Chain A
């Protein structure tokens, strides 16, 4: 006989879109990050008590009211396509799988906006819009998986952000279910609800977003791709800075160091060319694209960049969603994503390269210029999670990479769980206080995505964390000397 349900009203509400099956629940305990079970257990209860798949804001609201009455933790989740455990439960409770809340709800061609359900994947949205002659302003490099609300709940900087700004600025309004179960229609500033700006990057801790009104653009009439090769990251940095501030503004400005190319080759996917690469795409009117080509030519001449053939440039664009090719160099990868000034890129990669040499471990660095003078930078290295001790020791290198980023004025991009030890360094004290006050105001019972964003779990308290990372680094160093 089946076990009696813990939450029969939710089963009644959602029917077969609700489960307490241990088998089904077990698939919601992770994101891209590979975390040994022994470590995961120390962090929190990652197995949700139930999974619900609402299809309307009203269903979400009913679930939130039910959760509020019983003080149940609620973790909103869609693709689960980050590495920070933003959408992994730490306190069991209810997991809201929002993938079914998907699709283009309305298109306003006069005002160039689209009402989009929260769980719509960016690639699907862009395809649907392009068929109608429109396009989104920006989208993430994980567009085939990432959802509209998911990216908004992260910081929302990606392809197109340099030209059009971060996603927060693309949201003309949204619908969200607050912790008390109230459905709020939120414009720029709405009483008794967080603002659009406050919800951006809040990682599902302030409300469950159900629908977003996105600003659009007409589908660009023309597109032009370029790929420049540089002898080193210093000249690449100069060109990236030049191009990011010149007119026209590139739609896409992606860089990769030569270590990235080597690691890709090791993974079986040689890049279009070796060396430090800068991929640039302009789109818009034909004249803008032509002007972009002239700008690239000028920038290349000034920085001794070599413009590679058009086919290589087109390939770099076609592969903009395929950074995970690197995983074949693993089978696991570990790494960091930092928000960093472009002016620090060469110094940052030089320090990373130094660390890589000392560790005798290839570390690939790549990223995108996403705002004037600012970039999101990934540094990744291969490892093997089937060797738990070695894997745990390799984790210490992520701490070293973040230290390099901090040294160059950077900070972690995205917090979730794993970057909570850096909260005090990633945000100014007053900003952090404001964030915590906001959480207290809009979710006083701490129902929404508890354990994320505002304070680290016990194991990740900065002093403990620093001690742990130092110990792991020490053991790794001794182990490597011993092996030599």
Chain B
């Protein structure tokens, strides 16, 4: 992960921006939209207007939210601006100007604040993914004393396409004899979408709730299958809550690599050519590149081929930053562009350790009628278990 300079606030960073254009090439939004206003340096110019307290036009505000927070601009910025922090502060100022209600983001905020998830469904629906499992709910949900708490995440819990990921994860954990549980219906959204809306205080409230729920079970570690949840728990919760949170945080890709190394899971051959999509919040924004690849490489018969843009230059799938809420067509276009790169590798299987990336890329594959299977890492592993 490229280290940005310490964030000096919106006023300073928007003036540091050199307008050099290094950010143009890798920005998926700019590549898809084509107008300067949609580029990171264009967003910097828009954000600069916020510094002076100017109310933004609807189109300017829209541009600030039309960003997946993928962080590519942060990795290439030659003045080392922490662009993610810049976008988040800009969005916070916009939220203070009631922009969420002027843009199609009010409903997402209401869902998150009232139902504590992105869809607005009742909390008990978080357990629907468990219906086809043979494991006893008492073991699976809020079991005090379990060593590891599996934080399922909204997409795996509440979207049909994501259920298989949660099921695969618990099956692997069970086969590896891991002492684990989940928060069950007490789990709230990790807060990442709130942060992306520009509502850090609300995100902090969510962080407090989730951490209290884990502590109530005396869990020593949290594992997620969602890179955004992982990033929130590992990197953002300590910042929001003012200090270390006292639990180990792992992404499933890291945990699986560890379980393989310890000989707790073994594989049968799974012949095929696979390409790997780096989720932005796991790779670029959290620095985890190797563990998920090591998992794939441990499966006999699976040949890993990289896309043209990978690791820190991986293109975003369009699933982050609440882009789907404000411009679903643009999110779909980003997924399509990433899919093209996957197809170019000649792989028949596209694996990603992210429930949201899987959802956007699988949807794009269906729309484009591409014969490429899209699976989460856990789903791939469960298929290969000996």
Contact = CB atoms under 8 A, between A and B. Distances in A.
A27 B35 contact: yes
B20 A81 contact: yes
A145 interface: yes
A144 interface: yes
B36 A24 contact: yes
A331 B25 contact: no
B59 interface: yes
B60 to A, nearest CB: 7
A383 to B, nearest CB: 11
A268 B35 CA distance: 33
Interface in A322-337: 322-325, 327-328, 330-332
Given A23-B37, A23-B59, A268-B5, A331 B12 contact: yes
A244 interface: no
B37 A324 contact: no
B318 interface: no
B264 interface: no
Interface in B52-96: 57, 59-60, 76, 78-80
A327 B25 contact: no
Contact of A327 (B18, B36, B57, B308): B18
Contacts of B18: 32, 324, 327
B5 A328 contact: yes
B78 A99 contact: no
A4 B11 CA distance: 37
B5 A27 contact: no
B34 interface: yes
B7 interface: no
Contacts, number: 82
Interface string B1-28: 0000100000010011011111011000
A81 B20 CA distance: 5
Interface string A32-63: 10000000000000000001010000000000
A477 B184 CA distance: 71
B127 interface: no
Contacts of B22: 142, 144-145, 321
Contacts of A269: 80
B25 A123 contact: yes
A153 B317 CA distance: 35
B78 A322 contact: yes
Contacts of B45: 27
Contacts of A146: 21
A27 B36 contact: yes
Interface string A122-165: 01100000010000000000101110000000000000000000
A331 B16 contact: yes
A416 interface: no
A146 B18 CA distance: 14
Contact of A19 (B20, B21, B35): B35
B227 interface: no
Contacts of B79: 324-325, 327-328
Interface string A4-35: 00000000000001010101100110111000
A100 B34 CA distance: 7
Interface residues of A, number: 40
B34 A324 contact: no
B279 interface: no
A115 to B, nearest CB: 20
A250 interface: no
Contacts of A80: 19, 21
A198 interface: no
A452 interface: no
A151 to B, nearest CB: 13
A323 B76 CA distance: 13
Residue from B16, B22, B24 with most neighbouring chain A CB atoms (10 Å): B22
Contacts of A268: 5, 80
Contact of B16 (A17, A131, A328): A328
B198 interface: no
A32 B18 CA distance: 6
B34 A145 contact: no
A403 interface: no
A27 B37 contact: yes
Contacts of B57: 23
A32 B20 contact: yes
Given A144-B25, A268-B5, A324-B79, A24 B35 contact: yes
A32 B19 contact: yes
A381 to B, nearest CB: 15
Contacts of A51: 35
A386 interface: yes
A131 B345 CA distance: 13
Given A27-B36, A268-B5, A79 B21 contact: yes
A330 B36 contact: no
A146 B45 CA distance: 20
A121 interface: yes
A245 B11 CA distance: 48
B25 A328 contact: no
Contact of A31 (B12, B19, B78, B308): B19
A385 interface: yes
Contacts of B20: 32, 81, 142, 145, 324
A41 B194 CA distance: 42
Residue from B37, B57, B78 with most neighbouring chain A CB atoms (10 Å): B78
Given A17-B34, A23-B59, A27-B42, A325 B15 contact: no
Given A144-B25, A325-B80, A99 B34 contact: yes
Contact of A385 (B15, B37, B59): B15
A365 B34 CA distance: 36
Contacts of B24: 79, 99, 121, 145
B126 to A, nearest CB: 41
Given A324-B18, A385-B15, A144 B76 contact: yes
A19 B34 CA distance: 11
B15 A332 contact: yes
B78 to A, nearest CB: 4
Contacts of A23: 37, 57, 59-60
Interface in A378-436: 385-386
A231 B305 CA distance: 50
22 contacts: A23-B37, A23-B59, A27-B37, A30-B19, A31-B19, A32-B20, A53-B34, A79-B21, A80-B19, A97-B34, A124-B25, A142-B21, A144-B22, A145-B25, A268-B5, A323-B78, A324-B20, A324-B78, A327-B18, A327-B79, A328-B80, A332-B15
Q: Which A-B residue pairs are the 3 nearest by beta carbons? A: A145-B21, A27-B36, A324-B78
Given A17-B34, A144-B78, 14 more contacts: A27-B37, A32-B19, A32-B20, A79-B21, A80-B21, A99-B24, A121-B25, A144-B22, A145-B21, A145-B22, A145-B25, A331-B15, A385-B15, A386-B15
